[in-house]
Amino acid sequence: MLPVMLDLRDRACLVVGGGEVGVRKAEGLLEAGALVTVVAPSPAAAVEALAACGRLRLERRPYRAGEAAGYRLVFTATDSAETNRRVAADAEAAGIWANVADEPELCTFHVPARVRRGALQIAIASNGEAPFAVRRLRQLLDRRLAGDWAAWIAAAARFRPRVRALAAPAQREALFDRFFAATVDPDSLTARVPAPEEEAAWLANAAAVKAPVPTDPPRRPGFVSLVGAGPGDPGLLTVRARRRLMTADAVVFDRLAEPVLPPDLPARVELHSVGKEAGHHPVPQGEINALLVRLGLEGKRVVRLKGGDPYVFGRGGEEAEDLRAAGVPFEVVPGVTAGIAAPACAGIPVTSRDEAVRVTLVTAHESTRVDGSFVHWDQLAHDPHATIVAYMAVSSLKQVSANLLAGGMDPEFPAAMIERGTTSAQRVVRAPIRELPAAAEAAGIQPPALLVVGPTVHHAESLAAFTRRPLFGERLALAAPAGDVRDALEEAGAEVVEAPLPLTPAARIVLRALPLTGCLLRSPADAVAFADERPAWGDRVVAWCLDAETADSARALGWGRVVEASADAGWGALVAAMGRGDEGHRDR
């Protein structure tokens, strides 16, 4: 269908039906300036009110055969299918455009959903086939279009005739480009009204503006964003961080940032893994710095994605200094640091009135420096109202404990080790500081892990809500868009990887970043799409299938554990089934 904008001012339009839908159609026509007649035997109170104040003509009667021919545009929205068909047939015979509510096959036109900001209108349509989806997309765009777009479009309307009066035709588009580029942020979808002096400067230089010559697009200046990925939970990635990732040309990421990569990251984005592990740095820091400089000098928009916050033991400052020295523009996008988030998810508030009024963030490696530590462990040991959070603590835990005890800390002072905090793989070991090294070793705590020492550690007994939800520990893959099931699973404590199909390179990295426990398959096509990845996940992964056909496809493709778990009773029933494991369901 061809989208058009109709001028209905002072044109006669008919609405057959006076219910809720008829009211909406009449109000839309009145807003457009039409002369509206409503025909309805029992009109709604809203129609009566519009008629009473003279805004429309109301005829309280059934539709009369053939009367559609007297109008420019006709809407029908009655409870009678016969009446709706009669109106559509009359309009067709008279060459009048007609719209029949909820019956697209009878329509000769459809009214799109609109996002309006003053004179600016954005129309969204589906040829009448999926109006529910159009409504929700309109609501999404309505929320996203921030800023004063109504005033902006009015300013653009004022700017256009001034350009036409002062600039030659070949120069006009360049001036319009300048107006748009200076006033619209394409990332945030915000607009501003240009100041009068800005417009005056653009127009004063109109003679110097040359018409664009078709060439290859100019290379935009490079820009590097040092982005904090947060502590590991993808939900803790900031809005700005995601926006930078989705508009990047290249992403340079650490191992700890892998679970946070957006699975829907466009396939065009270059992915550079520079992951480090304890004692193993395959890409030295100097080479990482050089890579960022090179990509920036190539004119690319680069995201350096780092676990936690770039400036909290992340060496972001070193990278920023090298970028500055090379003349590459950069910014820092702060992230949620693990030193605050991981204790919170373990039930440990790092501050609490009358208990802990100070927080000290340290790197545990400072305890093993042979040339003297920058950390005064003796002073920390004598502060019973402080929380100590030590990063990178696994290999240095014994020495940190020894230093604090040697400095005079009470051997029974509460302490904890938190592995993979905020993620589905989180594990917590609590013990007095003198016993914690042995307890952590016995539990097999592995990096990345944080040490927390302080009086509030005892709250973990009662405040560890993160780990008490029924699906905590589950990491589930499912095809995008997930819809309501994602909310249900996450509220129950599962970590959900919503992967677009076909799988993107970023999605494959995210799926393998941490162990998966299950994959929700809603159709045989899902089973096929995930089949190539399944061997890398291991035999522990359960294929949760929503019908028998999907389960048969999963088994045929070699899934080791297949569970038929219908969601007919709602997503809550599915969550309960997952919480019970295989109990009550067929695992064949």
Q: Give the active site residues.
A: 254, 276
**Peptide bond between residue 43 and the one before it cis (omega within 30 degrees of 0):** no
- The sign one gets for the Cα dihedral 197, 202, 206, 207 is positive
- Please give the Cα distance from 556 to 57 (Å, whole number): 66
- Please give the Cα distance from 235 to 252 (Å, whole number): 20
What is the SS3 assignment for 563? strand
Let me know: does 563 contact 544? Beta carbons within 8 Å: yes
- Please give the Cα distance from 539 to 444 (Å, whole number): 22
How many residues does the structure list for the chain?
588
Q: Which has the closest alpha carbon to 20: 34, 33, 38? A: 38
Query: For the chain, first and last CA: distance in Å?
Result: 49
Tokens 């949620």 belong to 336
Let me know: does 331 contact 338? Beta carbons within 8 Å: no
- Please give the Cα distance from 376 to 408 (Å, whole number): 12
Q: Which has the closest alpha carbon to 421: 482, 472, 374, 377? A: 472
Residue 147: beta bridge partners? 191
- Please give the Cα distance from 5 to 177 (Å, whole number): 25
**DSSP E strands, 184-340:** 184-185, 190-191, 223-228, 250-253, 270-273, 301-306, 330-333
